[in-house]
Structure 1
Amino acid sequence: MKVGVSPPSTSVGRFLPGVSIMDRYIIGELIPPFLFSVGAFSSLGVAIGTVFQLVRELADNDISLGLALKVFALQLPYYISLSLPMSILLAALLGYSRLASDNEITALRSCGIGLYRLVLPAILAGLIVTGAAFTLDQVIVPAAHYEATQTLDRALKGEATVLGERNIIYPEFGKVKRNGDREASPKENRIETLIRLFYAEEFDGTTMRGLTILDRSRPGFNQLILAESANWNPQDNIWDFNNGVIYAIAPDGSYRNIVQFEHYRLPLPRAPLDFVQNDRDYVEMNIPQTLEKLALLRQSGKQKEIRKASIRLQQKFALPFASLAFGLMGAVLGSRQARTSRATGFGVCVLMIFTYYLLMSVGDALGLSGIVPPWLAAWLPTLLGLGVGMALLQRSARI
């Protein structure tokens, strides 16, 4: 029996000039189902996550159709990003299944080409999709998702909510000298404790209002600051407080001094301002912004929030690499079976995606509870996917 291999698409060859004919041919087989999958999964995601909400807002709050279309367009990159790993999985599954059903996999292997070499185009495609997903997640999705949230909030509430926060609480932890322990070394004579507690009733983007600050940064001297409002002065790196009172509290709890003021300047850190200005959803932050928030959380001492931010930071690296794992698994599974219909491939793809996100939820729970380190919690499903793909490849290569 003679089995031929069709010539590669000229368009694929133009974009991959240094790649062999076989690789270009296989990648050409992956492109149509990949594009179909991106459209299908993106449409499904945006319909469930955005369209239903926008239709409800159009009916209940009388927002304009133009604004709804703007929010829809701004949300679309997020769902395209989510669809990329699923799409490369379905594309590899359908593409290699088509090659297997037409005995092209058998013909290539009879020519001495091993399965490891045959799945290399899928791995290459997975790496390309990984790079595209990472770029999309860092450059386009955060800004677009944030603008979509702000646009809808302005339409519904009349103002942006991220810079219109209420009930802001920011604790700051640090090391202070241990009282009465003269025999301990300077390093041992310091303990981790709450040194400052910052509370503001509201923040309108420029001014904090209704402030209460407990300052315990100096051993043996505590002060309580109450103020009507405060602004951060970026030129002098200092807080300007207005219409307030300062209570100096003695170690026995009595008030040693009371100072009333109309205007007072205090050299307190600007961390509370940074904290509220960086209070975005993690989807709306890229890696540098997530690192900034993580640094602020480490100052606050909120361990669970620190672990959560650390996991989200690692997921920004791990999630794009899911495309590599899915490309490998799809190629191996597709090469082992006869022609797979789109419906069957879609079902297998949904099952594998569900398993991946279930593992991601398990990793989240383990990481937030401190059982595993944040990097392992974030990378767990991707590493398991790569492990399963390599095991399937090794097993299929022996057949």
Structure 2
Amino acid sequence: MSILARYLNKQFFKFLGICHLVFVFLYLIIHFFDRVDNFAESHVAVGKMAAFFVSQIPLIAAQMLPPATLIAMIITFSFMERDNETIALRSCGISIIGLCKPVLAASCVLALFLFCLSEFVVPFASTFSNRIWRGDVQGQGHRNALTKTHTWYRGSQCIYNVPFFDNEKKLMLHPSLYFLDSSFSLQKKIDAGKAVWTGDGWELFNAIVLAADPSGGYSLKRHDTLRLTLPEPPEIFIMERREPEEMNLWELKAFAQAMQDEGYEANRYFVDFHIKIAFPFILIVFSLMAPPVALWKRRFSTPLAVCAGAGVCFTYILVLGISRAAGIAGVMPPVLSAWLANGIFSMLGIYLLIIKNR
């Protein structure tokens, strides 16, 4: 690594550390005051409340790393421009593009770090924090055990296994109900094609009932429809739906594919799957945008450059939000909706670099 690369990376990572800590702290403070009333009303213990906010830090850190990277790069190059270091370097034959290579390499390393953080740490931390929020704050209980695509729920009369639940239609798809006695021996098992909430219970369609008989064996019966008076309402299964941030890349893809195979609308999950892949590349995109923004005008002060960087962040979020909504609505393919913002801002950054390098 050259002396220039070491100097640039040292300055960049110094400002990145400061910016990232400030952004995470501010986000956490706002998040705390937004949620603290809910914890107080639910009489949640202070230790559990602290655990909730601590477990939110990985997700917040992942979300704040791209804007912190952009602002840190802008400050780095803006300070170099202020101290006439860029003029000295260009007089030595180092172009703006050559000046950007060390931070571009650093952004690639950060992108790998962000991918690992989002893939291996955030899902577990988000699942833990959401369990506290749903169970202790919203009072939805802790009796559900979530796996990749199935929800297990211990009700008052039986144990539910629900592979998929349609929130809008309030129906279970391919549920299995297990009825156990006091010694946890299986007394009856019901498999159905679907189950629809009737207001006071569930109506099962294409049900197969496996029931224990007095002789110690089991009998099998088929029912086109079967009504069961069970107290568990559909809200129990709606509230325990896993969010995309609670799943890693492969779990989210498997979930989306399974939803699609069962005939359900899965665009949202496919879009979020591709966004998970595209998300770390934001750092590389911002590393292309930061130098021309910081060096655009000779007397472009650091505060103005930082404001311009904030504008770039908000514009990026706006474009990503619009393209994501279009992908979910089926207007554009999920891959395109996830990568559109990266593509637009990458081309814009390269164009500005070429213009500034002249």
* TM tier, smaller: 0.7 to 0.9
Q: Distance in 2 between matches of 1:110 and 1:315?
A: 42
Contiguous gaps of at least 5 residues in structure 2: 146-152, 154-161, 176-191, 212-217, 228-236
How far apart, in 2, do the equivalents of 1:329 and 1:60 lie?
Answer: 45
**Which residue of 2 is the match for residue 182 of structure 1?**
none
Task: Tell me how far 1:24 sits from its aligned partner.
Answer: 0.7
Q: Distance in 2 between matches of 1:341 and 1:68?
A: 42
Task: Quote how far apart the aligned CAs of 1:277 are.
Answer: 12
Alignment TM-score, normalising by the size of structure 2: 0.76
CA contact (8 A) 2:173 2:194 kept: yes
Q: 1:45 to 1:345 in 2, by over 3 A?
A: farther
Q: Cα gap change, 1:106/1:134 in structure 2, threshold over 3 Å: closer, same or farther?
A: same
Q: CA, structure 1 residues 21+52, in 2 after alignment: closer, same or farther (shift >3 Å)?
A: same
Given candidates 13, 29, 38, the residue that maps to 1:31 is: 13
Q: Which residue of 2 aligns with 1:46?
A: 28
Match of 2:250 in 1: 288
Among residues 211, 223, 227, which one is paired with 1:247 in the alignment? Answer: 223
Separation in 2 of the partners of 1:364 and 1:161? Answer: 34
Deviation (angstroms), 1:378: 0.4
What's 1:300 paired with? 262
The code of the aligned residue for 2:67 comes to: M
- Find the aligned partners of 1:107 and 1:395 in 2 and give their Cα distance: 19
Q: Check 1:162–1:47 CA distance in 2 against 1; reply closer, same or farther (3 A cut).
A: farther
- Partner AA of 2:87 in structure 1: T
* Residue 180 of structure 2 corresponds to residue 199 of structure 1: no
- 1:339 and 1:112 map into 2 onto residues whose CA distance is 22
Identity %: 23
- Whether the 8 Å contact between 1:126 and 1:323 is mirrored in structure 2 is yes
Q: Decide whether aligned partners of structure 1 residues 280 and 161 sit closer, same or farther in structure 2, where only a CA change above 3 A counts.
A: farther
- Looking at structure 1, the residues matched to 274 and 203 of structure 2 have their Cα atoms a distance apart, in angstroms, of 36
SS in structure 1 at match of 2:172:
strand
Post-superposition offset of 1:211? 5.3
- Aligned residue in 2 for 1:169: 172
Partner SS for 1:372 = coil
TM superposition shift of 1:158: 6.2
- Farther off after superposition, 334-343 or 317-326: 334-343
Q: What is the root-mean-square deviation of aligned Cα atoms in Å? A: 3.3
Aligned residue for 1:29, secondary structure, equals: helix
DSSP 3-state at the match of 1:160 = coil
Bigger radius of gyration among the two:
1
Aligned in 2, Cα 1:112/1:67: closer, same or farther, shift over 3 Å?
same
| Corresponding letter in the other structure for 1:131 | L
Aligned to 1:65: 46
Shift of 1:278: 9.2
User: Compared with structure 1, are the counterparts of its residues 52 and 145 closer, same or farther at alpha carbon in structure 2 (3 Å cutoff)?
Assistant: same
The alpha carbon displacement at 1:210 in A equals 5.7
- Deviations along 1:365-385, one digit per CA (max 9) or x if unpaired, are 221222211101001111111
Pick aligned residue for 1:326 from 286, 296, 300: 286
Secondary structure of 2:33 counterpart:
helix
Q: What is the correspondence of 1:1-399 to structure 2 with a 5 Å cutoff?
A: 19-48=1-30, 50-156=31-137, 157=139, 159-160=141-142, 163=145, 164=153, 167-170=170-173, 197-199=193-195, 212-214=203-205, 224-225=206-207, 246-247=222-223, 279-303=241-265, 306-338=266-298, 343-398=303-358
One-letter amino acid matched to 1:93 = I
- Distance apart, 1:143 and its partner CA: 0.5
